Structure 1
């Protein structure tokens, strides 16, 4: 059977939706982990599109250009829920620029949520546990369980709960999804090659069920799950230790951190070398300092038949 026919016959299997624990909402001031957020987008202005060309035109007409972001370090809150099915039909320069632009605000939004949690943990570390409120104690306990940390100590939480540099996220999204053109990316919003987790969830499978790849409701949840995987799984302990070291040296960039990803792919060092080449060639680390402008959020969604 041809690859196209195999992909055409892929099935999307969906498990019942699991809602976040009510305990997570006891105190509005305590930030929820990004992977627990069920509705990440504030749909102030909703734009339903049918093609990648329409998205590129919308970006251009609104002055959302990568050169402008680099010069101003200001990033518009243009959130894209899912991928168009025709990115590959664009000229190469438009496809590459368009993919980076559609994913950048979501990466920033997930990382900013993680930084909120880190700030709150740092605040709690300045006072004895006996002075924590009941809600604060439960919040820390919930984080410890979510990140598989038995000690419950804040220093250990801070090692696990930290950002993934923009350049690294973009490079892995590019490599794993083929610039947003793979079937798993289009049908399941899976940009990072994540397999079905042990606790289940949505997934895509090939005929016979030999391959089960995680599927997500939107690009935010995909990105949040990928970061949570890196921040939790034992295989990425080296990444977390290197990130801590780089942060202390003020050298935390995607180009530096990807050297710890040899276990992410069976390609090993070749995978790392390719990620570094992508970061360098497309200047993906140039967006680390960009800040989201949340004053005028816009929400884009594609209505084509490939949406999961």
Structure 2
């Protein structure tokens, strides 16, 4: 079986799984603040966000699979693929001819990393930004009215915490931020190296590339890694990164 066929066969299975299991992510979220048991709150938080993360990652893998087909093709690509490539490159802020950088950006994030950061940044879905603005990751924006003004924002500062219509929109924006932001180039390089070693990128490893996500720097990185390990969040990573299993084309 050719690598391209294996990649497409695997992707079809993942798409079917995503469509049948991820609709829960479209439902209204639980009232996390009303759940008194810490363990029950954690379970509800992970159970709600994991399908959303899986769906976002699946969409990225669709694009990555097609991009790999184009990159591997020995023939000149047709106008339809050229159109796809140009649009994808524009979305990821890359020159269409720079396929290596584009492949470095069009890739999934381990669900373990996403869940740990969402829990950390939103206080397990209970923060004002999460409940009122569907903001799970504390992303800043600088256009007046783009989000919510943090309490205690220093005088003269204009940033707001970006608001979203749905939690899925928040997850998509977070993933795109890590996949394109200059501050997270190291994270993308770590992920690329893990791909080359036929290994599924792990959340705790990629967290090393978050040194600039928070003003707390290394302390923040260690806290995210601790949350991943303590809550055994790597158990969620198979859905997002199964593409790199050795029986599949490791580059997909």
TM-score by length of 2: 0.78
The answer to whether structure 1 residue 267 and structure 2 residue 213 are counterparts is no
Give the match's secondary structure for 1:79.
Answer: helix
Instruction: Report what 1:244 is aligned to.
Output: 192
Would the alpha carbon gap of residues 252 and 86 (structure 1) be closer, same or farther in structure 2, given more than 3 Å must change?
closer
Between 1:151-160 and 1:239-248, the stretch displaced more is 151-160
Higher helix proportion? 2
Give 1:13's aligned residue: none
Map 1:1-308 → 2, pairs under 5 A = 77-128=23-74, 130=76, 132-196=77-141, 202-206=146-150, 210-249=158-197, 250-290=199-239
Aligned length: 218
Instruction: Pick the structure with more strand per residue.
Output: 1
Q: Which has the larger radius of gyration?
A: 1
CA distance in 1, matches of 2:239, 2:183: 30
Summarize the Cα distance change of 1:109–1:126 in structure 2 as closer, same or farther, 3 Å threshold.
same
Change in Cα spacing, 1:201 to 1:221, as seen in structure 2 (3 Å) is farther
- TM-score if structure 1 supplies the norm length? 0.65
Structure of higher RCO (CA pairs closer than 8 Å, 6+ residues apart) = 1
Contact 2:32 2:41 in 1 (8 A): no
Could you list the per-position Cα deviations for residues 235-288 of structure 1 after superposition, in whole angstroms to 9, with x for gaps in the alignment? 111111111001222051101110111100001011011111100110001111
Aligned-pair distance for 1:290? Answer: 3.6
Aligned CA distance change for structure 1 residues 247 and 127 (closer, same or farther; 3 Å): closer
1:204·1:215 contact (CA, 8 Å) conserved in 2?
yes
What RMSD over aligned residues (CA atoms) do the two structures have, in Å? Answer: 2.5
1:45-65 deviations in whole A, cap 9, x for unaligned? xxxxxxxxxxxxxxxxxxxxx
| Deviating more after overlay: 86-95 vs 256-265 | 86-95
Per the TM alignment, residue 197 of structure 1 is displaced from its structure 2 partner at its CA by 6.0
- Distance apart, 1:202 and its partner CA: 4.0
What does the per-residue CA deviation read over 1:174-223, in whole Å, with 9 as the maximum and x for residues that have no partner? 1000001001011111101111166x884222589854111111111110
What is the deviation of 1:124? 1.0
SS of 2:184's equivalent in the other structure is helix
* Residue matched to 1:64: none
* Structure 2 unaligned regions, length at least 5: 1-17, 241-252
The alignment partner of 1:150 has SS state of: coil
